[in-house]
Amino acid sequence: MLSAAGCGLSRPEAGYGLEAPVQHHRFSPYTFNGGTVLAIAGEDFCIVASDTRLSEGYSIHSRDSPKCYKLTERTVIGCTGFHGDCLTLTKIIEARLKMYKHSNNKTMTTGAIAAMLSTILYSRRFFPYYVYNIIGGLDEEGKGAVYSFDPVGSYERDNFKAGGSASAMLQPLLDNQIGFKNMQNVEHVPLTLEKALQLVKDVFISAAERDVYTGDALKICIVTKDGIKEQTIQLRKD
Amino acid sequence: MALASVLRAELAEFSPNFPKNFPKNFPKNFLEDFPDDSEGIPEILRDPPGPPRVLAAPPWGFEAEPEGPGLQILHGTTTLAFKTPHGVTVAVDSRATAGSYIASQSVRKVLPIDGRMLGTMAGGAADCAFWQRLVARQCRVQELRNKEPVSVAAASKLLANLVYQYKGLGLSLGTMLCGWDKRGPGLYYVDSEGQRVAGAAFAVGSGSSYAYGVLDRGLAAAARSEEAACELARRAIAQAAHRDAYSGGCVRVMHVGPEGWKEVSHDDIAELQDKYLEA
């Protein structure tokens, strides 16, 4: 264009100090799909519960996308974070479970799955799986076991753990009600299955009230020596 | 990826080719081939500008860069270890933070390498746990080959050389290897920057300055007995937990002697602080 010919610049406004501040939009391989997971270990049972809302930004993609995946007859995993990585990760875990079964002629124990998941996550240390995992199941002695992970594979066995978008709201309540933290002169009653179920429903109802990414429905998987039972309870859909 | 192949159970030996296959100037090549405004590279593969990434402890006022929108990995701690004529006394807190959220108050930050050696965890939790587990495996193989327990110097050198290959890529590791070998008590500090240093006393982590204050004052007296040493270690961690927001939970004190390592005590910091404030 003749007016900018002297500068030889492609955009006419360039060179006059009239450029708008440039915003570089880089592609991000991650997105956050929301969701909350909770696992509680009891004396002879384990509960893994998750909401079923799949969101992205201000939208809800699905009201029926549970985050608990059954791995074996004794183990359930809950994965929240980036849904794409959740799907791939669970595929990889299921493949590795089959390989183990074929080589060793036995099902992987809950502790072994946890240790294996840690190395799977760490193998992607420099491009992590954006997934917050919680494994719940029964250990070799039949007691409840909960293992919680960070995105790069650091893990720890707990009695109860909340993960995902509403974890910071749920965890303190569980610390108080199950761990009897910050209370004085209270009898430490061991947790029964009925009380644990009631607690799970109550905390998710509260989380749905205050976290936009949690809601729609609650799916509960109860792991006992007789197998895995499932329950679905409706939550707020707004 | 060669790193993933290390993790396969059937491999007898750590792969000798990794990371020679890795491009030598890993971050720099990328920046030359893909200038800044390209859309090709994920953010986390670039070297962030400014001071190097978080080492053993987050420096004041600077938070480690998260990898992706809100992806937060576990960090933060105070750990310490010192030598006495009876062996090496190790004390750690048990808090793990993800950003400003306290993810756990019951993390085990002492990792056994073998029956006579312990490693502490500071910095990235997954990094410490993974690499020390790998070193433990290497030590076992070496012990089987040489029919002799591995020395602390050798184990610390193995760890230091392993993480040095990844220098600049963002690993965060600040660990102390404490053990008893044929030369007596051994204590080495190893970090992800490539430092490997022997010493008589170290405190590592975001609360290390506070721990040093208490530790240095009582070191001479602590040499008297094992109980005095453990009490000093406990007091130092309690002080660090009091002043550092990223440390807390409970204090775990361990001792490594000629017979091996043992756990001496495990106390909740809230209760310890009641006790010390009264005194």
The answer to whether the Cβ–Cβ distance between B68 and A27 falls below 8 Å is no
- Residue-range definition of the domain harbouring residue B87: 79-278
Number of domains forming the structure of chain A: 1
Query: Cα(B25)–Cα(B21) distance, rounded to whole angstroms?
Result: 11
A-B C-beta contacts closer than 8 Å: 88
The answer to whether the Cβ–Cβ distance between A28 and B69 falls below 8 Å is yes
Give the CA dihedral B84, B88, B89, B91, nearest 10 degrees. Answer: 140
The predicted structure's pLDDT at residue A237: 86
In a domain, A213, yes or no: yes
Q: Residue A234: CB partners within 8 Å, gap ≥ 6?
A: A216, A217, A218
CATH code for position B153: 3.60.20.10
Point out the residue among B42, B107, B124 whose CB comes nearest to the CB of A127.
B42
The answer to whether the Cβ–Cβ distance between A26 and B3 falls below 8 Å is no
Query: Cα(A158)–Cα(B98) distance, rounded to whole angstroms?
Result: 17
Is pLDDT at B179 greater than 60 in this prediction?
yes
Q: Does B214 touch chain A (CB under 8 A)?
A: no
Our separate counts of H helices and E strands in chain A read 4, 12
Q: What is the pTM of this model?
A: 0.80
Give the CA dihedral B65, B68, B73, B79, nearest 10 degrees. Answer: -10
Averaged pLDDT, B155-164: 94
Q: Does B107 touch chain A (CB under 8 A)?
A: yes
Helix/strand/coil for B8:
coil
In a domain, A174, yes or no: yes
Query: Cα(A79)–Cα(A86) distance, rounded to whole angstroms?
Result: 6
Q: pLDDT by residue (tens digit) across A43-84?
A: 999 999 999 999 999 999 999 999 999 999 999 999 999 999
The predicted structure's pLDDT at residue B71: 61
The answer to whether the Cβ–Cβ distance between B125 and A150 falls below 8 Å is yes
Q: Does B162 touch chain A (CB under 8 A)?
A: no
Stretch 68-87 of chain B: residues touching chain A, C-beta under 8 Å: 68-74
Residue from A125, A148, A161, A171 whose CB has the most chain B CBs within 10 Å, to mutate: A125
The predicted structure's pLDDT at residue B53: 37
CATH code for position A49: 3.60.20.10
Point out the residue among B71, B104, B130 whose CB comes nearest to the CB of A30.
B71
The predicted structure's pLDDT at residue A11: 59
SS3 for B130-194 is HHHHHHHHHHHHHHHHHCCCCCHHHHHHHHHHHHHCCCCCCCCEEEEEEEEECCEEEEEEEECCC
Catalytic residues of B: 77
The answer to whether the Cβ–Cβ distance between A156 and B108 falls below 8 Å is yes
Point out the residue among B70, B98, B169 whose CB comes nearest to the CB of A150.
B98
Tell me the two tokens of residue B229.
Answer: 């040493």
Q: How far is CA B250 from CA A96, B92, B95, B245, in A?
A: 36, 8, 8, 14
Query: Cα(B235)–Cα(B222) distance, rounded to whole angstroms?
Result: 12
Closest residue by Cα to residue A133 from A155, A116, A107, A158: A155
Asked if this assembly's ipTM is beyond 0.85, the reply is no
Q: pLDDT by residue (tens digit) across B243-253?
A: 999 999 999 99
Q: What is the mean pLDDT of each run of 10 residues along chain A (238 residues)?
A: 46 62 81 95 96 94 95 96 96 97 96 96 93 96 95 94 94 92 86 95 94 95 96 90
B126 CB neighbours in chain A (<8 A) are 118, 121-122, 125, 150, 152-154
A122 CB neighbours in chain B (<8 A) are 7, 126, 130
Query: Cα(A127)–Cα(A191) distance, rounded to whole angstroms?
Result: 39
The predicted structure's pLDDT at residue B73: 62
A167 CB neighbours in chain B (<8 A) are 101
In a domain, A24, yes or no: no
Averaged pLDDT, B58-63: 34
In a domain, A79, yes or no: yes
In a domain, B197, yes or no: yes
Point out the residue among B7, B43, B126 whose CB comes nearest to the CB of A150.
B126
Number of domains forming the structure of chain B: 1
DSSP sequence for A73-92: TTEEEEEEE-HHHHHHHHHH
In a domain, B147, yes or no: yes
- Residue-range definition of the domain harbouring residue A65: 36-235
The answer to whether the Cβ–Cβ distance between B125 and A154 falls below 8 Å is yes
In a domain, B235, yes or no: yes
Q: For all residues of chain B together, what is the average pLDDT? A: 79
In a domain, A171, yes or no: yes
Tell me the two tokens of residue B55.
Answer: 């080492």
The predicted structure's pLDDT at residue B216: 93
How far B163 CA sits from the closest chain A CA (Å)?
13
Say if CB B104 and CB A175 are below 8 A apart.
no
Is pLDDT at B18 greater than 50 in this prediction?
no
DSSP sequence for B45-86: GSPPSSSPPP-SSPPTT-PPPPSSTT----B--EEEEEEETT
Q: pLDDT by residue (tens digit) across B182-227?
A: 999 999 999 999 999 999 999 999 889 999 999 999 999 988 899 9
The predicted structure's pLDDT at residue A138: 97
Point out the residue among B3, B68, B106 whose CB comes nearest to the CB of A130.
B68
pLDDT band at B99 (very low <50, low <70, confident <90, very high): confident
Say if CB B178 and CB B152 are below 8 A apart.
yes
Say if CB B157 and CB B53 are below 8 A apart.
no
How far B33 CA sits from the closest chain A CA (Å)?
16
